[in-house]
Amino acid sequence: MNKAIFIDKDGTLIRNVPYNINTALVDMEENAEEALSLLKQNKYLLIVISNQSGVAKGFFLENDLEDFFVPHSIYHIDLQ
């Protein structure tokens, strides 16, 4: 059986900046990288989830969020 964990992006992995689509404003939460590495070492599949109400409210398009969800694209972390 495989183990997986679902992790919310905003306020858990990265500091929450409301309606942010600017990757330059991304700042990892304290200890997030270490926690992800520990989970990975223990053979968990890491799944990042996010509720993006800014899309529903018309602040930005779903395509504008692609950089946030390409694995490791903005987080600059090594999960070896």
Annotation marks residue 8 as catalytic? yes
- Name 60's Cβ contacts closer than 8 Å, sequence gap at least 6: 19, 21, 54
**Residue 31, burial from CB neighbour count under 10 angstroms (0-12, 13-18, 19+):** exposed
Active-site residue 67, yes or no? no
- Catalytic positions, written as ranges: 8, 10
